[in-house]
Amino acid sequence: MTTPLRGLLDRDVVAATAGVGLFAEALRDQAVPVTETEWAPPMAGTEADLATVMADRRRVEANALAFARMTAAEAKLVDVRPAAQALSLERGTFLHAGPPLEWARASGPMRGALIGAVLLEGLADTPEQAEEQLAAGHYTLEPCHHRDAVGPMAGVVSPSMWMYELRDDVHDNTSWCSLNEGLGKVLRYGAYGPEVIDRLHWMTRVLGPLLQQSVRASGPFDIKSIIAQMLQMGDEGHNRNRAGSLMLLRELLPGLITADAPSADIAEVVRFSGANEHFFLNLGMPACKLATLAAHNIPGCTIVTTMARNGTDFGIRVSGAGEEWFVGPANTPEGLFLGSFGPEDANPDIGDSAITETGGIGGFAMAAAPAIVKFVGGDVPFALEATQRMYGITEGEHTAYTVPILEFRGTPTGIDVTKVVRTGILPQINTGMAGAVAGVGQVGAGLVTPPVQCFPAALASLARRAEL
């Protein structure tokens, strides 16, 4: 028999350390070269669940399958239709962003958006009346995600609003998102003044039908391909959608120009769409929803398939834990403010748009979009570091979405609950910030993470379902 360790200590000692710095310091004091690696203990109290879930015999394969499905999912814009048709949304039902929510616990911007939607539908004559009806429980509130839809910020959808309809034929899934209203005083940020409702009426009367004509005439349009390209053009797909919006406009144009409509309407639709640098967000979100939907409901899988906020709670769902939500209080983003607004004006984190991070773009792709730091705060090294940090909690590197400055490395994709719990690293989200008071609208944009507790809770559920 050989002795494999023979001679090991005859050579100079070279050490690697993990965790607290004391060991490394002690070695350096003795002139021993040392390489330190980062390490932190798992989140408190998770050791037993972690051991159980890591031992689930289905886990490795389930996660690999989820990742393969997420990255293979298509996203084709196939139609634009009113929510009443597309989602069979009933009069008196309103969809909203994030996990389930009741009026009593709803934040200012969520209340403002619901009031606006009630007014838009003609169910009340005044904001006060709408608020009374909502408070009295006249209406049904339901998460967008429960109908495979997504909505930015408050994410309120009512039956007359027009929706983008996206298809993933590979996995036979469909997802929907409302049309983007632009920035500032808009419904999704909780504003509901007359100019907000007028704009929504115009969107229903002119914008939606014209987009429908264009998509039906020259679609379907490959939204996944636009996301892949925009990451080569300084966008990350959550708070920077400049190139994506221009590419979408280019796709829509031929069908718009030849549409059967007054040329003044066409010109206004082009002007409205071209002026909105976030126009594409409402396509990128359902594209990411289709990716995560394809990865959902795989037994034993520890990949996060939903992260969503309703302005009060932050909720996640996990592939192997079905329709269960794991919820904690939403954090308030830190970032840059518009005009004279400041941190005290900001509502806690809100919106389904964290589906972008769940799908491997947004905050996870900030290295592709260094200029975003001028909008959400942070600096360029932070943007690079954010993406690199996310490789530590994800299943793999996206096969279609790549980051040029990282030498075309795929974006970190497929948040693994076990990796989040083991490392304590939380998903990096960037986001718009709504004013905390109903009616105010957007006050800024910033950086935020989910509340820690969602992940140990999800892990516990996975542990209960584990097959060893």
Which residues contact a copy of itself by CB under 8 A? 229, 232-235, 242-243, 246-247, 249-250, 253-254, 257-258, 263, 266-267, 270-271, 274, 370-371, 379-381, 404-405, 407-408
Question: Could you tell me the smallest distance in angstroms from the CB atom of residue 153 to a copy of itself?
Answer: 24
Q: How far is the CB of 242 from a copy of itself (least distance, A)?
A: 6
Smallest separation, CB 248 to a copy of itself (Å): 10
SS3 state at 397: strand
Pairing type for strands 173-178 and 162-168 reads: antiparallel
Q: For residues 64 and 270, which CB has a smaller minimum distance to a copy of itself in the complex? A: 270
- State which residue, 33 or 262, has the beta carbon closest to a copy of itself: 262
Q: Which is nearer to a copy of itself, 175 or 402 (CB)?
A: 402
- Rounded-to-integer distance, Cα 298 and Cα 302, Å: 9
Peptide bond into 370 cis (omega under 30): no
Min CB(277)–a copy of itself separation in Å: 10
Which one, 243 or 285, has the nearer CB to a copy of itself? 243
Of 208, 357, 342, 362, nearest to 278 by C-alpha is 362
What is the nearest approach in angstroms of a copy of itself to the Cβ of residue 383?
Answer: 9
Q: Distance (Å, rounded) from C-alpha 134 to C-alpha 138?
A: 6
274 vs 329, which CB is nearer to a copy of itself?
Answer: 274
Burial annotation 42-70 (CB, 10 A radius, 16+ → b, else e): bbeebeebbebbeebebbeebbbbbbbbb
Q: Quickly count: other Cβ atoms within 10 Å of residue 307's Cβ.
A: 25
Q: What is the CA radius of gyration of the chain?
A: 24
**What does the block give as tokens for 160?**
């007359």
To a copy of itself, the closest distance from the beta carbon of 367 in angstroms equals: 9
Closer to a copy of itself by CB, 78 or 253: give it.
Answer: 253
How near is the Cβ of 212 to a copy of itself at its closest, in Å? 18
Task: Give whichever of 20 and 371 is closer to a copy of itself, judged by the CB atom.
Answer: 371
Q: Distance between CA atoms of 196 and 184, rounded to whole angstroms?
A: 10
Which residues lie closer than 8 Å to 18 by C-beta, 6 or more apart? 36, 37, 38, 39
